[in-house]
């Protein structure tokens, strides 16, 4: 039984294969958090300590006992207004203007299978693989009822948390802040690992000690953002890739979020993940509900590498959906860096022809094929094919491309409208704008109010008309600005940011239902919406608009802490690179792009014969390794932020094959040798290097490593494929 409840002392225990999670309803009905970590067997309420603490208030229920305070006790779902002065998971503004919600236990229920969240993405599992615990809490005065949802995936070592807030009272209340998960630790010193960045430089790793005060990351941009990813690791200060305790929290949401980490006055730690409280004031009239998006949690006592593996498996098997979840993905050539806006039908066809010669499966026609779209200042919202520019209909173009033996994919950006567009001229009120104010532009475009069903319906119809024009097998869904003017004509003001995201999900869900055979790739100026919410709809995401191989090493390293390689789209592009001006050889570019879903972003006609041969070979090799990359276990072998080489490896599920990739980042006179220590091999098995034929014991490669060649050139890459000897 993954979920246990002891009636006598009202303790809940959630057990997975290697972890335990415990909480307790105390004598007054408060829900206290007791423990999360490696498997334990007893009741952990002995960890609770009570002392008279000055300036920490006591609930009236405890009478004269000054030792019982919500300010000190670990909470399962801390609320504002009951004497806990630390960060709150929930802030409710009552009809009388007070900010208080005194939540007490009123009941619980255990269910088979994993709960779902209508309209929101969430982890799914077969009914035999998961259990759900619902705990009901209520504030007697306002009638606010909170359901804490716990999904327990025993074998996967995953616990998910979500919260539904419902107004059972007779007056309206407003939700001012709502998290879906809180972890309170009574002991321990922790670091917080988070992933910050910017456009074309996403998900850099930052590791900071959680000190006194609050350390917060989040987004107010309407999307999860390039700047902070909605994912954090709480790690024991000594934890490394393969040692030590660590916890992961991953928010399954693509909009504004807030993660707060705090060490309190008694050196206890609280970390929370949930909705951003800025730009959010969610009114609930009597009878109305709000579902807070889910947080996925896992724990590892074997370091951060194991934690990543648990999240990779969870995303691959319990979050991504559809026909492409387990299928090999097409190697595609995207027209963006090959032609930008300057193309016609002939250009696309030419690209398709050279694509076929190289063994690439698909051509994607990126931005510029619709409306008046000669640059990025106009045309968004006018989803009709610019046949004049293409020189033919879309159907004809697709047929010609298919005639070359190449599949066809297309770019769209449904959430946007250009002021210079027919759509905006007709429906200026469809864009998010604050009345009486000029809107803030981003890439010279405005954001359509996707919180409104009528706006979504119209765009959906237009997009369907495009997708029905021939055999389109792939769609790149883009979103190219942050949202500023949060105001909707129809949706209640404080709800817009949340309802917008739900609107995007609704659109995507309808698209997937109608076109189950189309592979949809997520994108937001590269990796501005690379999150678990999008992965529920799009099994792969364009990782970054930066295609420079060296920068990509860091971006992909940061991405790998939570997201599996099967979700990370990575393309080989031309040199000098368009974002950095750097030139890196084709082999290194290919090695880096093979750390995810391989693709190309260049004009093949500009390649030398030698480079073309190298691309053909890359694709051949990639295809022979694709399953191991997509399904195998991924290991980070070095940290490219601090070590002279970047190294990572994939090991097949049966551990009979491995691919080690290394890129040398530094070159100095009389250069030192880098020894790359491997992971995940069978210690006593012998592995043969496919290329050199040399044989090694797994243990030898893991304990002592393999020396990398010293070559006098910049950024050489090495790929070593190992096959287990039988
Ligand atoms: C975004 C994407 C790019 C490309 C352009 C087109 O920046 O990330 O890959 O599609 O938009 O405008």
- Over the stretch 431-461, which tens digit does the pLDDT of each residue have? 999 999 999 999 999 999 999 999 999 999 9
Compute the average pLDDT of residues 682-709. 98
Residues 483 and 497 sit within 8 Å (Cβ to Cβ): yes
Q: Over range 119-144, report the average pLDDT.
A: 97
Residue 461 is a catalytic residue: no
Percent of the chain with pLDDT over 70: 100
- Distance (Å) from CA 714 to ligand 1 centroid: 29
Between these two residues, 1 and 605, which has the higher pLDDT value? 605
Out of 415, 611, 626, 721, the active site residue is 611
Per-residue pLDDT reduced to its tens digit, 377-405: 999 999 999 999 999 999 999 999 999 99
Please check the confidence at residue 135 and state whether its pLDDT lies above 90. Answer: yes
Confidence of residue 122 (pLDDT cuts 50, 70, 90): very high
Q: Assess whether pLDDT exceeds 80 at residue 323.
A: yes
Q: What is the spatial distance between Cα 172 and Cα 561, in angstroms, rounded to a whole number?
A: 42
Average pLDDT over residues 365-377: 97
Q: Which is the catalytic residue, given 157, 294, 478, 531?
A: 531
Cα 468 to ligand 1 centre (Å): 23
Q: Dihedral of CA 226/231/237/240: which sign? A: negative
Which of 338, 523, 599 most suits a substitution to test ligand 1, by most atoms within 8 Å of the C-beta?
Answer: 523
**pLDDT digit string, tens, across residues 504-517:** 999 999 999 999 99
Contact 564, 528 (CB under 8 A): no
Please check whether residue 91 is in contact with residue 125, taking contact to mean a CB–CB distance below 8 angstroms. Answer: no
Q: What is the predicted pLDDT for the residue at 195?
A: 98
Q: Atom 1, ligand 1: which residue's CA is nearest?
A: 525
Q: Looking at the structure, give the CATH architecture of the domain made up of residues 332-631.
A: Alpha-Beta Barrel (3.20)
Looking at residue 492, its pLDDT comes to: 87
Strands in 346-386 per DSSP E: 362-365
Angstrom distances, CA of residue 396 to CA of 338, 354, 463, 466: 22, 19, 18, 13
pLDDT tens digits, 188-240: 999 999 999 999 999 999 999 999 999 999 999 999 999 999 999 999 999 99
Q: What is the mean pLDDT of residues 37-65?
A: 97
Torsion sign (Cα): 322, 326, 327, 331? positive
Q: How high does pLDDT run on average in the chain?
A: 97
Mutate to test the pocket of ligand 1, among 202, 367, 442 (most ligand atoms within 8 A of CB): 367
397-417 core/surface letters (b: 16 or more CB in 10 A; e: else): bbebbeebebbbbbbbbbbbb
Read off the pLDDT band of 260 (50, 70, 90): very high
CA of 64 to the centre of ligand 1 (A): 64
Q: Which residues line ligand 1 (CB under 6 A)?
A: 336, 366-367, 376, 411, 478, 480, 523, 525-526, 542, 545
How far apart CA 561 and CA 229 sit, in angstroms, is: 11
Residue 36 near residue 21 (C-beta atoms within 8 A): yes
Cis link prior to 576 (omega < 30° from 0)? yes
Q: Where are the domains of the chain?
A: 3-318, 332-631, 645-724
User: 202 alpha carbon to ligand 1 midpoint, in Å?
Assistant: 15
Cα 557 to Cα 202: distance, rounded to the nearest angstrom:
10
C-alpha 340 to ligand 1 mean position (Å): 9
Contacts for 417 with CB less than 8 Å, ≥ 6 apart: 380, 381, 423, 424, 430, 431, 445, 446, 447, 448
Which pTM was predicted? 0.98
Q: Give a three-class secondary structure readout of 288-347.
A: CEEEEEEEEEEEECEHHHHHHHHHHHHHHHHCCCCCCCCCCCCCEEECHHHHCCCCCHHH
pLDDT higher than threshold 80 for residue 127: yes
pLDDT at 701: 98
CATH top-level class for 3-318? mainly beta
- Residue 420 neighbours by CB distance under 10 Å: 18
Distance CA 87, CA 91 (A): 10
Can you tell me the distance from the alpha carbon of 584 to that of 503, in angstroms, rounded to the nearest whole number? 42
In the predicted structure, residue 1 carries a pLDDT above the cut 80: no
Please choose from 199, 412, 416, 478 the residue to mutate so as to test ligand 1's pocket, defined by most ligand atoms within 8 A of CB. 478
Residue 490 has pLDDT above 90, yes or no: no
Minimal-distance CA residue to ligand 1 atom 3? 525
Third-level CATH fold of 645-724? Immunoglobulin-like (2.60.40)
Report strand pairing: 362-365 vs 332-334: parallel
Ligand 1 nearest-atom number relative to CA 545: 8
Q: For residue range 263-306, what is the model confidence (pLDDT) as tens digits?
A: 999 999 999 999 999 999 999 999 999 999 999 999 999 999 99
Q: Any catalytic annotation for residue 617?
A: no
């Amino acid at each position: 039984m993954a979920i246990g409840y002891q009636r006598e002392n009202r303790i809940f225990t959630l057990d997975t294969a290697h972890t335990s999670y415990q909480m307790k309803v105390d004598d007054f009905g408060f829900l206290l958090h007791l423990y999360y970590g490696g498997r334990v067997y007893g009741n952990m309420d002995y960890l609770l300590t009570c002392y008279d603490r000055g300036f920490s208030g006591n609930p009236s229920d405890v009478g004269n006992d000054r030792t019982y305070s919500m300010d000190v006790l670990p909470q399962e779902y801390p609320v504002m207004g009951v004497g806990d002065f630390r960060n709150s998971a929930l802030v409710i503004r009552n009809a009388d203007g007070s900010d208080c919600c005194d939540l007490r236990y009123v009941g619980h229920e255990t269910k088979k299978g994993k709960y779902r969240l209508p309209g929101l993405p969430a982890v799914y599992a077969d009914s035999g693989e998961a259990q759900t615990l619902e705990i009901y809490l209520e504030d007697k005065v306002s009638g606010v009822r909170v359901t804490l949802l716990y999904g327990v995936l025993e074998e996967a070592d995953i616990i998910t948390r979500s919260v539904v807030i419902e107004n059972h009272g007779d007056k309206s209340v407003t939700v001012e802040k709502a998290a879906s998960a809180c972890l309170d630790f009574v002991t321990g010193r922790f670091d917080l690992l988070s992933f910050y960045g910017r456009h074309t430089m996403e998900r850099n790793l930052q590791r900071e000690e959680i000190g006194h005060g609050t350390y917060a990351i989040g987004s107010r941009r309407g999307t999860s953002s390039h700047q902070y990813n909605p994912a954090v690791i709480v790690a024991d200060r000594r934890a490394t890739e393969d040692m030590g305790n660590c916890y992961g929290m991953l928010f399954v949401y693509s909009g504004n979020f807030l993660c707060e980490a705090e060490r309190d006055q008694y050196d206890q730690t609280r970390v929370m993940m949930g909705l951003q409280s800025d730009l959010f004031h969610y009114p609930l009239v009597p009878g109305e509900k709000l579902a807070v998006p889910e947080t996925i949690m896992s724990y590892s006592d074997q370091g951060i590498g194991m934690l990543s593996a648990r999240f990779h498996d969870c995303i691959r098997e319990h979050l991504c959906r559809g026909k492409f979840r387990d299928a090999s993905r097409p190697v595609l050539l995207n027209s963006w860096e090959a032609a930008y806006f300057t193309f016609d039908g002939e250009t696309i066809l030419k690209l398709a022809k050279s694509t076929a010669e190289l063994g690439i499966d698909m051509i994607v026609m990126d931005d510029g094929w619709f409306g008046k779209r000669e640059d990025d200042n106009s045309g968004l919202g006018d989803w009709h094919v610019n046949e004049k520019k293409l020189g033919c209909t879309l159907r004809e173009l697709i047929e010609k491309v298919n005639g070359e033996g190449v599949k066809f994919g297309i770019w769209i950006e449904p959430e946007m409208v250009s002021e210079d567009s027919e759509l905006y001229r007709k429906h200026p009120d469809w864009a998010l704008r604050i009345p009486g104010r000029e809107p803030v532009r981003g890439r010279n475009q405005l954001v359509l109010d996707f919180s409104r069903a009528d706006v979504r319906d119209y765009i959906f119809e237009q997009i369907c008309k495009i997708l029905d024009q021939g055999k389109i097998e792939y769609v790149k869904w883009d979103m190219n600005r942050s949202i500023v003017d949060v105001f909707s004509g129809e949706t209640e003001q404080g709800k817009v940011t949340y309802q917008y995201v739900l609107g995007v999900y609704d659109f995507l869900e309808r698209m997937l239902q109608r076109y189950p055979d189309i592979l949809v790739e997520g994108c937001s100026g590269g990796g501005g919406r690379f999150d678990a919410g999008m992965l529920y709809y799009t099994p792969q995401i364009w990782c970054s608009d930066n295609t420079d191989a060296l920068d990509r090493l860091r971006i992909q390293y940061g991405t790998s802490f939570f997201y599996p390689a099967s979700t990370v789209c990575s393309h080989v592009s031309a040199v000098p690179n368009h974002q950095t001006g750097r030139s890196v050889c084709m082999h290194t570019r290919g090695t880096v792009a093979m750390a995810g879903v391989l693709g190309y972003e260049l004009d093949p006609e500009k390649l030398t014969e030698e480079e073309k041969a190298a691309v053909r070979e890359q694709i051949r090799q990639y295809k022979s390794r694709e399953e191991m990359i997509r399904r195998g276990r991924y290991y980070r072998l070095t940290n490219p932020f601090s070590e002279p080489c970047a190294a990572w490896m994939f090991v097949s599920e049966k551990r009979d094959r491995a691919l080690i990739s290394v890129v040398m980042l530094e070159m100095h006179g009389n250069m030192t040798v880098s020894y790359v220590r491997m992971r995940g091999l069978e210690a006593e098995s012998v592995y043969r290097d496919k290329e050199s034929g040399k044989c090694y014991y797994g243990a030898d490669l893991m304990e002592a490593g393999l020396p990398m060649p010293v070559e006098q050139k910049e950024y050489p890459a090495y790929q070593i494929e190992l096959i287990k000897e039988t």
